[in-house]
Amino acid sequence: MLTAAPINLKSLHKWNRLDAIPYRALEKFEDYYLLYIHPIHTYKYRLFLTNQKDLIPFLKVRINPDRLEGVDLILSSLDFSEYIICNHDGEIYTL
* Res 4: pLDDT: 58
pLDDT at 5: 59
Would you state the pLDDT for residue 36?
93
Spatial separation of the C-alpha atoms in residues 32 and 11, rounded to whole Å: 24
Helix runs in the chain, H state only: 23-26, 52-62
Q: What is the helix, strand, coil percentage profile of the chain, to 5?
A: 25, 30, 45
Q: What are the pLDDT digits (tens) for 18-74?
A: 888 888 888 889 999 999 998 889 999 999 999 999 998 999 999 888 898 999 999
Q: Are 65 and 19 in contact (CB under 8 A)?
A: yes
94 band by pLDDT with thresholds 50, 70 and 90: confident
